[in-house]
Amino acid sequence: MSNRTNPNRGGYFYRIRTALVRPLTERITNIIRCRRLIIQTGICRFRAKHAGLKLGIWIAVLNPLLVMLAISFVFTHIIQLDIDNFPLFALSGIFPWLFFSNCLLEAAFSITSQQVLLHKFKVPAEALPLIVIFAEFLSFLVGCCIIYPIFLVFNPQIIVLLPVLLLVLAAFIIFLFGLGLALATLNVISPDIGQSLGIFIMFWFWVTPVFYSLDMIPVKFFWLSQLNPMTHFITCFRSLLFYAQLPAGEVFLAIAGCAAGSLVCGAYVFSKWETSMLKRI
């Protein structure tokens, strides 16, 4: 009996390794090989994005602040939410959300808009979403230089949690890369995905607790919020920036699972459609 079942078990685990583990390790290896080019190209993209603007890199700071002011006015003076220090509460969710939405919108078109890197410089296609995410990350860092001190002034205790914040940010970037890789691949196969992404992100924004707290969600819908990966990431950022508290252990497990799952799924989608995708560009 055992001799008959062992090959089946071996075949099952072999299929898992072939479908999930091998594509992931291959993509990571390719990215490591061209890491310098990714960094250099990302820096050039960051500079080009802000070069033609009179405000330059200050746009990275003004965007979340203006959104914060607009939402704060609506939800404190019109809807009148009962949340202490609501502007900072909202900013702790808006700032990472804008980073998230900008990364996805840019990553979805990263392969179609950077074909010259693919053909002329032989950059691996899986590295193209990472280039645009790195460029957006540089803008995010510029914003952090202004916005983080604002939180620090109101609650100096958050400085102790900075190492944890960096770990959460690393998991967030991994999550974004996996999601961006899948979107970039599927957008080549079906361009409708990229065109409708903005509407989907807008819907995603309203069902994510960016400007409202988790305890405001009705009990019958709470389980749905827990299925939303951004709920856990926003909860982490808000705990570390606004409340100066470590998130609960299950929240850390959730963001780790989201990051790992996104990376594996992104590598799987890319590997499955790679041949068909490369024929189209």
Listed in sequence order, the residues at least 6 apart from 137 whose beta carbon sits closer than 8 Å to its beta carbon are 42, 99, 173
Mean pLDDT of 99-119: 90
Q: What is the pLDDT of residues 37-46, one digit of tens each?
A: 889 999 998 8
* Distance of alpha carbon 140 from alpha carbon 93, whole angstroms: 14
Q: How confident is the model at residue 23 (pLDDT cuts 50, 70, 90)?
A: low
Least confident of 45-59, 121-135, 231-245: 45-59
Angle in degrees, 0-180, between the axes of helices 162-189 and 86-108, rounded to the nearest 10: 40
Q: What is the pLDDT of residues 148-169, one digit of tens each?
A: 999 999 999 999 999 999 999 9
Q: Which residues of 152-168 are buried (b: 16+ CB within 10 A; e: fewer)?
A: eeeeeebeebeebbeeb
Alpha helices, H only, 155-212: 162-189, 192-206
Q: What is the pLDDT of residues 167-207, one digit of tens each?
A: 999 999 999 999 999 999 999 999 899 889 999 999 999 99
Backbone torsion region of residue 187, taken as left when φ is above 0, otherwise alpha when ψ lies between -120 and 50, otherwise beta:
alpha
Highest mean pLDDT among 18-27, 70-79, 89-98, 108-117: 89-98
What pTM did the predictor assign?
0.87
Residue 33: the pLDDT is 85
Number of H helices, E strands in the chain: 12, 0
Residue 2: the pLDDT is 44
Decide which of 34 and 107 is more confident: 107
Residue 15: the pLDDT is 57
Listed in sequence order, the residues at least 6 apart from 144 whose beta carbon sits closer than 8 Å to its beta carbon are none
Share of the chain above pLDDT 90, in %: 49
Reply yes or no on whether the pLDDT at 4 is more than 50: no
Q: What is the pLDDT of residues 215-268, one digit of tens each?
A: 889 999 899 999 999 999 999 999 999 999 999 999 999 999 999 999 999 988
Whether the CB-CB separation of 69 and 145 falls below 8 Å is answered with no
* Distance of alpha carbon 22 from alpha carbon 271, whole angstroms: 10
Q: How confident is the model at residue 54 (pLDDT cuts 50, 70, 90)?
A: low
